[in-house]
Structure 1
């Protein structure tokens, strides 16, 4: 079984649930994908890291860092960074806070000291519904002086997120669409 098929199987076993759920966007859904159940497993983290790193490595311009919104993206950016190191192409990770620390450096973006000024970055998320979380990450990265070259997710729920991101000039690359994952 290839890595993508292996990840799909793992997502269906660990993360995909049917029922009635309220999403971060406030929408109600008859299914839920709890990406952290997969990304926080050793196998899931490795597979997500490998596959997302593949998207980054294939980008026509050199991506200098990978980041995302805490908490969903934390295991993803760490996995990608570790895989990149193992591939002899180290890419540092950064994490965007939902709120500034309110003390110390008062940062929204952690890890920025590892990035060169004006760096081209990738932003990632486990599951995209409306794209709102990724838009916040993009806005905060741009405000810090970085350029966003790639926006990627493990799963696109196909509920407008890809279109919302594309309308802002950031096409979404996903490892799976809802249809590809669950039929």
Structure 2
């Protein structure tokens, strides 16, 4: 898919000998559409809004929203300081069952942070969905925050 080998520093700060270049599948409209179609069946029943995390989750959530016929919210790492000054744009999340969507999960740190922010906005979040789970503790970190991680693919699937 988009598995590279070498030495890479991940967003979590960890060093890895393999890297999943998410932009290779996010930039390919045919592959992205196929991934989204397969991910749609993993959406928990009762989900009302799909929330994609900046930046990689935005392409994935947009494609997924097409297949699931669900509205999307686009979640920044921090609220912008101009215009609407919102953390989350697009669909309203307050009072709704929201599924957080990410491309690759390693430590789960950004998903935990963003979920906390969405919960402060009144969203009901108890699941996250990703394309690839690197299986490096992210699922456990999310579980500790009350979030169940569902993944289309895992590191083991791609090795």
Structure 1 counterpart of 2:6, from 9, 19, 34: 19
Q: Do structure 1's residue 28 and structure 2's residue 36 form an aligned pair?
A: no
Q: What residue in structure 2 maps to residue 105 of structure 1? A: 84
Structure 2 counterpart of 1:152, from 129, 132, 142: 129
CA distance in 1, matches of 2:12, 2:75: 18
Structure exhibiting the larger radius of gyration computed from Cα positions: 1
CA distance in 2, matches of 1:116, 1:136: 16
Task: Please give the per-residue CA displacement for 1:96-140, whole angstroms capped at 9, x wherever unaligned.
Answer: 1122211121111111xx336410011111111100111122112
Q: Do structure 1's residue 143 and structure 2's residue 120 form an aligned pair?
A: yes
User: Structure 2: which 5+ residue stretches go unaligned?
Assistant: none
Q: Is residue 36–residue 64 contact of structure 2 (8 Å, CA) maintained in 1?
A: yes
When normalised by structure 2's length, the TM-score is 0.94
When normalised by structure 1's length, the TM-score is 0.82
**Structure 1 runs, 4 residues or longer, greater than 3 Å off:** none
Task: Please report the RMSD computed on the Cα atoms of aligned residues, expressed in angstroms.
Answer: 1.3
Q: Is residue 109–residue 140 contact of structure 1 (8 Å, CA) maintained in 2?
A: no
Q: Is residue 68–residue 137 contact of structure 1 (8 Å, CA) maintained in 2?
A: no
When you count helix as a share of all residues, which structure comes out higher? 1
Q: Is residue 130–residue 152 contact of structure 2 (8 Å, CA) maintained in 1?
A: yes
For the residue of structure 2 that corresponds to 1:25, the secondary structure is coil
CA distance in 1, matches of 2:78, 2:146: 25
Structure 1 counterpart of 2:111, from 119, 134, 148: 134
How many residues end up aligned between the 2 structures?
Answer: 159
Q: What residue in structure 2 maps to residue 39 of structure 1? A: 26
